[in-house]
Amino acid sequence: MKRTPQDCPSRLPENTAVKQQQLPACRLQLSATGILSGFFATGVFCLGMGVILILSAKSSMEIEINYTKICASCAKLRENARNFDKECTCSIPFHLTQTMRGNVYMYYKLYGFYQNLHGYLLSRSNSQLLGTDVKDVETCAPFSKSHDGTPIAPCGAIANSLFNGTTKPPSWPKPVYELDENDPGNNGFLNDDFIVWMRTAAFPTFKKLYRRLSRTQHFIEGLPAGNYSFNVSYNFPVTRFQGEKSVVLSTLTWSGGHSLFLGLAYTVTGAMTWLAAFSMMAVHLKLKGKRFSPDDKVKL
């Protein structure tokens, strides 16, 4: 018995615009003029932004005071762990040649301190920092518990490398709930200095914000030029790993601080874009007017 077409199921797709591929479409036809114009416009934008950002960064003022050698006696004292309870203060003089206008931001800067080491990054307890489980110190080795088995809070190598003590992290001079005696709300794991330090840096040389000097009625224009000095309680030795410490004072502009990285990145991108545009334009002018058939072979 022969099968009729009605008995066999049809394999044809449904007669719809989607399955029959009858939807309206638009094919973008790019011309050499349009592509080159886009490259040149992108290059102009990047070069312009680069120049503006560089000029803006140059307009900010920054001064760095390296006190590694000035506080050499305190550093030698701190290298011995038995002297953790002995205070050592050194005075750091510096001179401002011109007024630092606007708000002045104070940073501490470290050289040769690798916060990006894998073991250092993992030595922390996020559940403890969030307050969900203060006793969770399994991932904080070797700074998880004190000599009597009490969990350290905050635990881990990152928190330990901040200050000095016994049941607290060995580098802390006071408990975590007494970090700021003037502001009760700025204590514990919510302390501003502690939060800034826990944000690890990607490079061995870095600076982190410490304080801000806001304009007041006595310093309307900012920090006047003159002679100044810092009194530093030395609690963080760096000479053992050939590191250095500095204090950085800086003003900010609309584009950020004194760093030229962003402006140089825009400038290099614009220059590379223009170089690519001129190269494509040269190839276009060379091959303009020539016709190629499918049988022509392109020699590489």
Provide the token pair at 44: 């102009």
Question: What is the spatial distance between Cα 171 and Cα 154, in angstroms, rounded to a whole number?
Answer: 11
Please, which pLDDT band fits residue 52 given cuts at 50, 70 and 90?
very high
Residue type, 222: G
Question: Residue 97 contacts by C-beta under 8 Å, 6 or more apart in sequence?
Answer: 225
pTM for the model:
0.72
Provide the token pair at 221: 């224009």
Question: What is the spatial distance between Cα 80 and Cα 237, in angstroms, rounded to a whole number?
Answer: 10
Provide the token pair at 192: 């501003």
Question: What is the spatial distance between Cα 62 and Cα 102, in angstroms, rounded to a whole number?
Answer: 12
Per residue in 218-269, pLDDT tens?
556 778 888 988 888 888 888 888 889 899 999 988 888 888 999 999 999 9
Question: What is the spatial distance between Cα 61 and Cα 130, in angstroms, rounded to a whole number?
Answer: 38
Strands, sheet with 244-250, edge to edge from the N-terminal-most edge strand: 62-66, 244-250, 104-111, 206-213
Question: What is the spatial distance between Cα 209 and Cα 71, in angstroms, rounded to a whole number?
Answer: 21
